[in-house]
Amino acid sequence: MGCMGIRIQDMNIKENVFDVVYEPLAGSSLANLLRLLAQNRFRISAKYMPRFLYAVMLSSVISPFRIAERIKFDGRIRKTAICRPPVFIIGHWRSGTTYLHNLLSLDKNFGYCTTFHSVIPGAFITGEKVLKPIVSSSIPETRPMDNVPMGADLPQEEEYATGAFIHYAYYNG
| pLDDT (mean) for 157-168 | 84
Q: What are phi and psi of 65, to 5 degrees?
A: -65, -40
Strand partners, 103: none
pLDDT in tens, 116-160: 999 899 999 999 999 999 889 888 899 887 888 999 999 998 888
Mean pLDDT of the chain: 85
Give the pLDDT confidence score for residue 140 in this predicted structure: 85
> What is the predicted pLDDT for the residue at 3?
45
Structure confidence at residue 18 (pLDDT): 60
Higher-confidence residue of 17 and 46: namely 46
In angstroms, how far is the first alpha carbon of the chain from the final one? 25
Tens digits of per-residue pLDDT, 12-33?
Answer: 445 665 666 667 788 888 998 9
pTM exceeds 0.95, yes or no: no
pLDDT at position 7 is: 44
DSSP structure string for 74-141:
HHHHHH----S--------TTSSHHHHHHHHHTSTT----BHHHHHSTTTTTTTHHHHHHHHHHHS-S
pLDDT at 146: 84
What is the pLDDT, as a whole number, of residue 9? 47
- Are 116 and 23 contacting, i.e. CB atoms less than 8 angstroms apart? no
For residue 8, pLDDT over 90 is answered with no
Amino acid present at 127 = G
Dihedral sign, Cα of residue 170, residue 142, residue 115, residue 155:
negative
pLDDT > 70: percent of the chain: 87
* Confidence band, pLDDT 50/70/90 cuts, at residue 6: very low
Q: Average of pLDDT values for 36-59?
A: 89
